[in-house]
Structure 1
Amino acid sequence: MRLYDSKKSQKANKDIYTVVQPDLCVICDKSKLDEQGCIGAPDLIVEILSKGNTTKEMKIKYELYEESGVKEYWVIYPYEENLLQFVLNDKQKYELNSIYVTNDVLTSTLFSDLRVNLEEIFLEEE
């Protein structure tokens, strides 16, 4: 696994020139990577919302990621301490797979060994 600078872009589709910068993405196909970032859909995208994120902005990203074929999409609400996990179904539409809260351990549908303890994510430093 390799982490890339968040300043690099994710182009949803090589024929579509929409550019987004998710907070975190996982790209398993190395051929999608170039010096600018990722061309095509990452396998997993994680968005961590701030108070400045608008409903309209999140709806646009949700639809873009769904249309582009992002297989798994997590939306983290740090102020509410919950996480929504969306997964593409057979019709290439997102289904809400799970809603996780503070004491839960998230399991990825794509990566069976990936477990995320949300208590550690939402833990506030003193």
Structure 2
Amino acid sequence: MKIRDQKNFLNEPEALYGTYSYADYLSWDLEEMVELIKGKIFRQAAALRRIHQEVSGIVFNKLFNFLERKKCKVFSAPFDVRLPIKSKKNEDIDTVVQPDICVVCDMDKLDEMGCVGAPDLIIEILSPSNNQKELINKYEVYEESGVKEYWIIHPSEKTLFIYTLVAGKYIPSKLYTIGHQVASTAIEGFVLDLEQVFEGLE
């Protein structure tokens, strides 16, 4: 497809129906954030709500402090995570996501562009505009690519749900909320107190 105007690319009807690779993604000069999931373009929300940012900041800080002087590193969006299936070549990668928070323990997966390969832990914080993308599309690519643990936080409902990868398939947890202290199986020793995350949110 020939792009007539890079910045107005997403307004062209054919853009959202095409199939693209990470090589295409790198060539775009867009004013808004996008993700690729199995070659399809997904727009990011123009501005995240305050409650989303508060929860993200709290959880990121908890992980950052816990991982200090440990081998794993934590990153927050915008941070490109490429999930190759067959090949790590840019033209063969068709999924590039920007998780709200991710933890990577294999430093060989990190390069100057972000992460190539599955992080050990991915945390997505839901907002009204992205629930379907997180719950359906990202679930599939995270499971397929081997993300060990996938946390979904729902700020307005003050809940946390975890998928843990067992023999290549995700096993769901119970629903956690205020009063629960949640331990990660992917990041040994990390425990998140949900009262500290959700306390004071309106």
Report the counterpart of residue 109 of structure 2 in structure 1: 32
Query: In the TM superposition, what is the alpha-carbon distance from 1:57 to its structure 2 partner?
Result: 4.6
Deviations 1:54-113 (A, max 9, x none): 3245300000100000000000001111100110112x0101033211110001112231
Higher alpha-carbon deviation: 51-60 or 16-25: 51-60
Answer yes or no: is the 8 Å Cα contact 1:86–1:98 preserved in 2: no
Q: 1:113 aligns with which of 189, 193, 198?
A: 189
Q: Distance in 1 between matches of 2:165 and 2:129?
A: 27
Report the counterpart of residue 42 of structure 1 in structure 2: 119
Matched, 1:9 2:80: yes
TM-score (norm 1): 0.90
Q: CA RMSD in A?
A: 1.7
Report the counterpart of residue 137 of structure 2 in structure 1: 60
Structure 2 unmatched ranges of 5 or more:
1-66, 68-72
Deviations 1:13-41 (A, max 9, x none): 12422110000001000000011100010
In structure 2, what residue type is equivalent to 1:6?
A
Report the counterpart of residue 47 of structure 2 in structure 1: none
Q: Percent of aligned pairs with the same residue? A: 47
Report the counterpart of residue 94 of structure 1 in structure 2: 170
Matched, 1:74 2:145: no
Structure 1 unmatched ranges of 5 or more:
none
Q: Which has the higher helix share?
A: 2
1:94–1:120: structure 2 CA closer, same or farther, 3 Å change rule? same
Aligned length: 125
Q: Distance in 1 between matches of 2:122 and 2:76?
A: 14
Answer yes or no: is the 8 Å Cα contact 1:23–1:47 preserved in 2: yes
Answer yes or no: is the 8 Å Cα contact 2:126–2:134 preserved in 1: no
Higher alpha-carbon Rg? 2
1:25–1:70: structure 2 CA closer, same or farther, 3 Å change rule? same
